Amino acid sequence: MTQSHRIAGGQIDRSTTLRFSFDGQSFAAHPGDTLASALLANGVRLMGRSFKYHRPRGPLSAGSEEPNALVELRTGARREPNTRATVVEVFDGLQASSQNRWPSLRFDAMAINDRLNSFFTAGFYYKTFMWPASFWEKVYEPIIRRAAGLGSLSREEDPDEYDKGFLHCDLLIIGAGPAGLMAALTAGRAGVRVILADEDFRMGGRLNAETHAVGDQTAASWAAAAVAELASLPNVRLMPRTTVLGPMDHGIYSAVERVSDHLPEPLPGKPRQTLWRIYSARAILAGGATERPIAFENNDRPGIMLAGAMRAYANRWGAKAGDRIAVFTNNDDGLRTAVDMASKGVDVVAVIDSREGGDLLPGIRHLRGAVVTDTAGRLGLTGITLRQANGRAETLQVDALAVSGGWNPNVNITSHHRSKPRWDEGLLAFVPGEGGPSGLSVAGAAAGVMSTQGALHTGQAQALAVLESLGRLTKPADLPQAEDAPVRISPLWHVAGGKGRAWIDQQNDVTVKDVVLAHQENFTSVEHLKRYTTLGMATDQGKTGNVLGIAVMAGLTGQTIPETGTTIYRPPYTPVAMGALAGRSRGPEFKPVRLTPSHLWAKEQGAVFVEVGNWLRTQWLPKPGETTWRQSVDREVLATRRSVGICDVTTLGKIDIQGTDAGAFLDRVYANTFSTLPVGKCRYGLMLREDGMVMDDGTTARLGPHEYVMTTTTANAVPVFRHLEYVRQCLFPDMDVQLISTTEAWAQYSVAGPNARKLLEKLVDQDISDAAFPYMAAGHITVCGGLRARLFRISFSGELAYEIAVPTRYGDALIRRLMQEGAAFDAVVYGTEALGVMRVEKGHVAGNELNGQSTALNMGLGKMVSRKKDSIGMVLSQRDGMTEPDGYRLVGVKPVDPARAISAGSHFLEIGAAPVAANDGGWLTSVVYSPHLNSQIALGYLKAGDQKIGRRMRAVNLLTKVDTEVEIVSPHFLDPMGERLRG
Amino acid sequence: MMAEMGLVAARERATLPGTMRQRMHHMRYSGFRVIAEALRGHKGWTPAWRDPVPQAAYDYVIVGGGGHGLATAHYLAKEFGQARIAVLEKGYLGGGNVGRNTTIIRSNYLLDGNQPFYEFSLKLWEGLEQDFNYNAMVSQRGIINLIHTDGQRDAYTRRGNAMMMHGADAELLNRDQVRAMYPFLNFDNARFPIKGALMQRRGGTVRHDAVAWGYARGADSRGVDLIQNCEVTGMRIENGRILGVETSRGFIGAKKVGVAVAGSSSRVMAHAGMRLPIESHVLQAFVSEGLKPVIDGVMTFGAGHFYVSQSDKGGLVFGGDIDGYNSYAQRGNLPVIEDVAEGGMALMPMIGRARLLRAWGGIMDMSMDGSPIIDKTHIDGLYFNGGWCYGGFKATPASGWCFAHLLARDVPHPTATAYRFDRFLKGRMIDEKGQGAQPNLH
Amino acid sequence: MIINHPILGPRDAQEFVYLGDASLMNRPDTMTAGIEAFHDWLYTRDNPAGLHRELWYHEQGDRSWLVVTRNTLTHEITQVELARDVALALRRSK
């Protein structure tokens, strides 16, 4: 198809022709075109369908405020729904499709909704679909849900990458129109670090869309020269294609840069978009203004667009919206469209100016005191009906209508911190109110200064104020002369009198009738209006419709517009891709991976790994021929208890605690006493939260008079360290104690089993005989001829066991050496599963029991809480509700018939009791298979469990319908006297 | 349980003198009415509620015209037969957290103190629309909590059993069942693989604003005065008894005052000199642009901070963790937005090109154990309902019913006996997450 | 948010972990105070809408606990102190 509506001029590169397609049809365009400008240049006006009534729609605007011309861009996994054709840069091969229509854009079966519009008023769904009760979910809602939404996701993984970055500047300027450019020139020339961000791909804002002069240049040329000068300044960073999403606290702004969206796909190594966090000392909002329509009957047809957009398409993109146009305005700015279009050779049939009296445009039929009352044309405008000042109706054949209801300053970002905009009666618009984000000032049209000269002036003035506040005040440069027309506007929100629908929010199909109904039903507050009618809740967030809706409501209530109020704008300024917000944290990179020192060795051996927090730990290590995990785990358990097994326990938290008050400090943070622990010994410690619940447990060793080493559970390594620093700095600042986390500094292995000592003796340089290094001994040692190490004779498995620690960089060497020397003992490495089996066999609590809801008493460790000293949690652990004799107690559980299964999370019930809450006895916390007992065994919290040892009950899992008779036993299944670990 | 309570309430109602029950004549909503009104240009629709001038005194003053306050008034009048009731709202009806949440309903609670209450609430949701003749779009499309570790499966098994023992529904899904339901989740390339899910089919979503409006209409139709733009600025208390409240529209006397002002609990109760076990935090929530339906039910990610559903209009409605610091600013910061988006992308790599449309922040009154308070205070006639953390929406019907029960009868409702102020003193916390006395962790 | 660390200068709040009201530093003495005093201290809060003194921990930094004075209505931070200095002063004043 030819570019039938392409006209001369504009900032497109006609030397290059690009091909793109829309709904499968191929078109030509030029670099510099947007999808919307290119389609208009090709004579295509119909680009979308509205949300509710499926009304045919063309572009209303030429910018990011677009409610109508939404398309699905690209294909396959890169399909991007709801993309505004008005901001998409055309590239060669671009493919776009219309959305929310079936079967085609021109014939949309869902447009039946438009015929039935009298039923689909605001809030109609709240009043119906209630009978019969079951029909809402079975019948009505599925139909509504099928009709919901606009574009479609691809349902495939987004193939593109996204990045995140951090920027710092003295001054962030948002918007590169006349005010922003002038502010940037002023600050940039003064040498401060400036970031100038603009959502458009070409900086200049309205300067690119207007025909005025700035100084002795065209507006667009002046903008280009300003951009060129700024680009030459090393202290200025220009960020086109960058939308500032909103202000966070303390001068931080988020912004998204569309790095590759103008390309068929990102260049290799480049992201699609980058999310920037911009730290600014000061910021200037120079975001311009957005034009708003006037509500009149059938004001939504393709071919009806905002006056400023129509002349932007003509002036910037060389695309005319129609051959015979009319202009409908309530203000002087709309007249510019008539003048510009006429100068481009377009037939301007009439200017319908709602204002009475005043000057008339020369050479154009300029009707004063007239309004447009209706329009015609199903898939595109064919004509309008107007009413002249004398009341006479007239029909005009036109294929495009420019509408201007005035301009709204883009105050959005000033109200993101909930500052309310202020109504300006002269502009008939909201301007920034008091109390916006701290450090932010506003210039140009965003501040309600609507002329080019005013924009240049306020841009410079705000930049000078920033420079002064930064101590860099400079002399202002002379400003070029520019257009300085006053705003002349008379209120006209809604052309009353008709019976049809007049649109306010075009995307969501909110019409004047809906506002009238909301008023009739007493949904009159602005928030009720918004929520009841869905005004302003579409993808454009009401940028063109909100003020209009408020004004119509004000007219109904008799209140002023400021009394009626405004809704608070929310970030982001325009919708932002989820991918950009997530950046690189997705897929396997969602969270960092922490590897243990033995990871490489274990991987070589074919270990199966499991996620434990951010760690990957060996879960079990299969041997050739083993086909199920149970075979591997049983073997690891049996081999450990028979001879020796090794487990990487580096993930346990390790905290060095030193100072003359280290013992006293530990007495505070542990429920039991550590100041009395002899040097060279370890002790099991129980740590409570201040509310008396168990926070963590672990073994702490005293390596010197003022030197302790604490171990924590893997899960609590970080929170416990934080807690200790809190206790040290905030509660007991007088204590002489210092802490450092050494979790990453030491590789630590448990060496457990009857031959543990024999194995270690091959490595350790010192005497570790039972006499020299008895049960619960701890100390500094060396291994392999002098490598410094730590040795603890502690046991989680219940076997004769040690934990040996070497500096992390020797961790890999140590596991290899242990396995090499261990060959003589058939040593095995055991993983977290076998570790779990052995600790349950011994009745030791771990993660499932340390659930933050359990007391020491619950765990059978009540006696460990010393009442003789001040410790965290001691007082509140004595509250009634936590000391009841029939509270939960840790018990052991085994099925009466070992062939029967039990599972963790099952609840205890008495034999014969119904599975109801009143009979709930507690639950099984951890279940393992014990190859020694040839049975599943479990730990559990059972009400008054200590009084029920020997009883038979049931472990019931209603989810899997497994109901198993069990015996309540001591949690110490194996070697209850602890003879093995003293061996 | 509910039927029984309904009977009790009905009996009580029958004993009231008819003159006490001032009824407004509201039109009944129905599909027929919608059609009839369409044919006559919608001229017949009447206001959903009146804008009454406050009277000098009421039997009951409910402070807070959000979901819980409106539900309380509705049930006080409808189920407990009380009259002379006013709801005082400092802004507009439904302007609190009932209008800024992620619309999820569920009763998948673990602890005895919570489960029966939330199950009662879910049952009330199931009959709500018939009850107040307003379509709040209660949609039980199911909620799943994804499982990524064996420990999570154990915990969810415990929880699912607790739910079933209390009469709620629960199912444990394996990985294949989850995959059949949501094939687009990241099953093959995830940092934390999906191993299954706990599902409650009766969970789902409700159109949040409609809940406030339905209760408002229900209360108004039974003579409750709903007074907007009326801020409580003080409480008149003499000899340990409340006499009424000072407001921006003058003093309003009351025999009983019930406070249900999520987000302002500490500020309002400070008028009575009370210091609460509550911190106020900001929770952000998010909605995407409208998309053709892809997610049928509600799901929560178990390895990050992310939960999501899709509204009947097509927006993905999602959220994550609270920002984590005390705030009344009703807005959050970027790190949490990024954290939530990361969780979303980790779980559903297809949403990279979906766009976040709007972010907003609400004030959450975070209690010290993550569970709410519905209780009398030490001041005669002053009652408190609050501390809902970020779980208040799903509780709305039961909260209103139970608070009305307490106000009308001075004893807690059987499902809300644990929500007492003194549970912290007595060591009977209801701590679902096991995080202790640190509100931002609940 | 940006927290102006007394030692390290301005740092993004993302480097910190929040605990809560700085009144948590006024811990009762276990040996003299009972359950009620501990309850009031641990479980109740002023929860002001306005200036709030609160504890932040520089976890991704130097591990200092800080007392930050911040307005909960605007998030403006007006003072940042090392918690240990505050705690020492508190002790001396007792």
For residue A343, give every residue at least 6 positions away whose Cβ sits within 8 Å of its Cβ, in sequence order, or none.
Answer: A211
Model pLDDT, residue A568: 74
pLDDT value at B3 more than 60: no
pLDDT value at B10 more than 60: no
pLDDT 10s digits, B234-289: 999 999 999 999 999 999 999 999 999 999 999 999 999 999 999 999 999 999 99
Q: How far is CA A627 from each of CA A364, A622, A633, rounded to the nearest angstrom?
A: 89, 8, 11
The pLDDT confidence band at residue A497, using thresholds 50, 70 and 90, is confident
Q: In terms of Cα–Cα distance, which of B194, B222, B245, B242 is closest to B63? A: B245
Q: For testing the chain A interface, which of C35, C44, C60, C62 should be mutated: the one with the most A CBs within 10 Å?
A: C35
Average pLDDT value for residue range A558-581 = 92
Model pLDDT, residue A138: 83
pLDDT value at A826 more than 80: yes
Neighbours of chain A (3+ CB pairs under 8 A): B, C
All residues of chain C having their beta carbon less than 8 Å from the beta carbon of residue B338 are: none
Residue A501 inside a domain? The answer is: yes
Give the domains, in start order, of chain B with CATH numbers. Answer: 2-134+207-276+369-441 (3.50.50.60), 143-203+279-367 (3.30.9.10)
B27 touches chain A (CB under 8 A): no
All residues of chain C having their beta carbon less than 8 Å from the beta carbon of residue B326 are: 20-21, 47, 52, 54, 72
B1 touches chain A (CB under 8 A): no
Q: Percent of chain A having pLDDT more than 70? A: 100
Q: Which of C13, C47, C73 sits opposite B279 (nearest CB)?
A: C47
Average pLDDT value for residue range B218-228 = 97
Residue that is written with structure tokens 């009143």 in the block: A918
Do A285 and A185 belong together in one domain?
yes
Mean pLDDT for chain B overall: 93
Q: How far is CA C76 from each of CA A437, A490, A530, B170, rounded to the nearest angstrom?
A: 10, 41, 31, 46
Tokens of B3: 């039927």
Instruction: Please count the structural domains in chain A.
Output: 6
Q: For testing the chain C interface, which of B90, B282, B321, B326 should be mutated: the one with the most C CBs within 10 Å?
A: B326
How far does the CA of residue C68 sit from the closest CA of chain B (Å)?
11
Model pLDDT, residue B229: 96
pLDDT value at B159 more than 60: yes
Distance separating alpha carbons of residues A329 and A465, to the nearest angstrom: 37
Average pLDDT value for residue range B362-388 = 98
Contact check, Cβ <8 Å, A730/C64 = no
Contact check, Cβ <8 Å, C20/B279 = yes
CB A904 within 8 A of CB A926: yes
CATH, residue A918: 2.40.30.110
pLDDT value at B1 more than 70: no
pLDDT value at B20 more than 70: no
Model pLDDT, residue B418: 97
Q: Which of C42, C52, C54 sits opposite B437 (nearest CB)?
A: C42
How far does the CA of residue C79 sit from the closest CA of chain B (Å)?
16
All residues of chain B having their beta carbon less than 8 Å from the beta carbon of residue A254 are: 334, 337
Q: Which of C27, C57, C59 sits opposite A731 (nearest CB)?
A: C27
Do A796 and A696 belong together in one domain?
no
pLDDT 10s digits, A906-924: 999 999 999 999 999 999 9
| Angle between helices B115-126 and B392-409 in degrees, nearest 10 | 100
Do A181 and A268 belong together in one domain?
yes
Average pLDDT value for residue range B345-361 = 96
Tell me which residue range forms the domain holding A26.
Answer: 18-115
Model pLDDT, residue B15: 38
Model pLDDT, residue A188: 98
Residue A315 inside a domain? The answer is: yes
Neighbours of chain B (3+ CB pairs under 8 A): A, C
Please name the amino acid found at residue B75.
Y
Contact check, Cβ <8 Å, C57/A690 = no
pLDDT 10s digits, A130-140: 877 778 888 88
CATH, residue A312: 3.50.50.60
The pLDDT confidence band at residue B17, using thresholds 50, 70 and 90, is very low
Instruction: Please count the structural domains in chain C.
Output: 1
All residues of chain A having their beta carbon less than 8 Å from the beta carbon of residue C42 are: 690-691, 876
Q: Name which of A100-104, A182-186, B191-195 the model is least confident about.
A: A100-104
pLDDT value at A879 more than 60: yes
Do A239 and A327 belong together in one domain?
no
C44 touches chain B (CB under 8 A): yes
B40 touches chain A (CB under 8 A): no
Model pLDDT, residue B24: 53
Q: Percent of chain A having pLDDT more than 90? A: 93
The pLDDT confidence band at residue A146, using thresholds 50, 70 and 90, is confident
Do A230 and A320 belong together in one domain?
no
Contact check, Cβ <8 Å, B329/A418 = yes
pLDDT value at A260 more than 70: yes
Model pLDDT, residue A144: 83
Model pLDDT, residue B5: 40
Do A545 and A624 belong together in one domain?
no
Average pLDDT value for residue range B125-132 = 93
Which letter, b or e, does each residue of A281-295 get, where b requires 16 or more Cβ atoms within 10 Å of its Cβ?
bbbbbbbbbbbbbbb
Contact check, Cβ <8 Å, A726/C29 = no
Q: Give the DSSP H or E segment for A811.
A: helix A811-822
For residue B105, give every residue at least 6 positions away whose Cβ sits within 8 Å of its Cβ, in sequence order, or none.
Answer: B121, B122, B125, B138, B140, B203, B204, B205, B206, B393, B394
Q: How far is CA B438 from each of CA A467, A813, B303, rounded to the nearest angstrom?
A: 44, 43, 21
Model pLDDT, residue B25: 57
Label the pairing between strands A18-22 and A94-97.
parallel
Residue A860 inside a domain? The answer is: no
Model pLDDT, residue A123: 87
Q: Which of B46, B127, B356 sits opposite A576 (nearest CB)?
A: B356
Model pLDDT, residue C94: 67
All residues of chain A having their beta carbon less than 8 Å from the beta carbon of residue C92 are: none
Average pLDDT value for residue range A586-604 = 97
Residue A863 inside a domain? The answer is: no
pLDDT value at A819 more than 90: yes
Q: In terms of Cα–Cα distance, which of A503, A606, A63 is closest to A293? A: A503
Query: What is the side-by-side strand order in the sheet with A594-595?
Result: A594-595, A615-620, A608-612
CATH, residue C59: 3.30.2270.10
Other C-beta atoms closer than 10 Å to the C-beta of A128 total 18
Average pLDDT value for residue range A343-365 = 96
B319 phi, psi to nearest 5 deg:
-160, -175
Contact check, Cβ <8 Å, B276/C45 = yes
Instruction: Give the CB-side neighbour count of residue C19, counting CA atoms within 13 A.
Output: 26
pLDDT value at A816 more than 90: yes
Residue A479 inside a domain? The answer is: no
pLDDT 10s digits, B181-206: 999 999 999 999 999 999 999 999 99
Distance separating alpha carbons of residues A686 and A543, to the nearest angstrom: 59
- Measured CA angle at A845 (ends A841, A846), to 5 deg: 105
pLDDT value at A1 more than 90: no
Residue that is written with structure tokens 């006349």 in the block: A178
Q: How far is CA B153 from each of CA A663, A782, B159, B160, B174, rounded to the nearest angstrom?
A: 40, 43, 10, 10, 10
Average pLDDT value for residue range A589-610 = 98
Q: E-strand spans in A410-486? A: 422-424, 429-431, 440-442
pLDDT value at B21 more than 60: no
Label the pairing between strands A80-84 and A70-73.
antiparallel
Do A442 and A497 belong together in one domain?
no
pLDDT 10s digits, B399-416: 999 999 999 999 999 999
Distance separating alpha carbons of residues A220 and A208, to the nearest angstrom: 5
How far does the CA of residue C49 sit from the closest CA of chain A (Å)?
15
Do A402 and A546 belong together in one domain?
yes
Average pLDDT value for residue range B62-88 = 98
Phi-psi region of A798 (alpha: psi -120 to 50; beta: other; left: phi over 0): left
Model pLDDT, residue A284: 98
All residues of chain A having their beta carbon less than 8 Å from the beta carbon of residue B303 are: 590-591
Tell me which residue range forms the domain holding C18.
Answer: 2-93
All residues of chain A having their beta carbon less than 8 Å from the beta carbon of residue C55 are: 726, 730
Average pLDDT value for residue range A481-499 = 95
C46 touches chain B (CB under 8 A): yes
Residue A480 inside a domain? The answer is: no
Chain C residues bordering chain A (beta-carbon distance below 8 Å) = 1-2, 12, 17, 19, 24-25, 27-31, 33-35, 38-39, 42, 55, 57, 59, 63-65, 74-77, 82-84, 87-88, 91
Model pLDDT, residue B264: 97
Contact check, Cβ <8 Å, A729/C27 = no
Do A71 and A211 belong together in one domain?
no
pLDDT value at A821 more than 60: yes
How far does the CA of residue C13 sit from the closest CA of chain B (Å)?
9
Residue A577 inside a domain? The answer is: no
Q: In terms of Cα–Cα distance, which of A651, A584, A248 is closest to A416? A: A248
Residue A144 inside a domain? The answer is: no
pLDDT value at A625 more than 90: yes
Model pLDDT, residue B9: 43
Contact check, Cβ <8 Å, A958/B161 = yes
Instruction: Give the CB-side neighbour count of residue A64, counting CA atoms within 13 A.
Output: 22
Mean pLDDT for chain A overall: 96
Q: Which of B266, B276, B328 sits opposite C73 (nearest CB)?
A: B328
The pLDDT confidence band at residue A119, using thresholds 50, 70 and 90, is confident
Distance separating alpha carbons of residues A460 and A445, to the nearest angstrom: 14
Residue that is written with structure tokens 């641990």 in the block: C42
Mean pLDDT for chain C overall: 96
Average pLDDT value for residue range A619-634 = 97
Other C-beta atoms closer than 10 Å to the C-beta of B290 total 26
A344 phi, psi to nearest 5 deg:
-90, 5
Q: Which of C38, C65, C91 sits opposite A725 (nearest CB)?
A: C65
CB A387 within 8 A of CB A393: yes
Model pLDDT, residue B14: 37
Contact check, Cβ <8 Å, C1/A248 = yes
pLDDT 10s digits, C33-72: 999 999 999 999 999 999 999 999 999 999 999 999 999 9
CB B105 within 8 A of CB B178: no
Do A645 and A754 belong together in one domain?
yes
Do A105 and A47 belong together in one domain?
yes
Distance separating alpha carbons of residues C56 and C72, to the nearest angstrom: 14
Q: What share of chain B is helix, strand, coil (3-state, %, to 5)?
A: 35, 25, 40
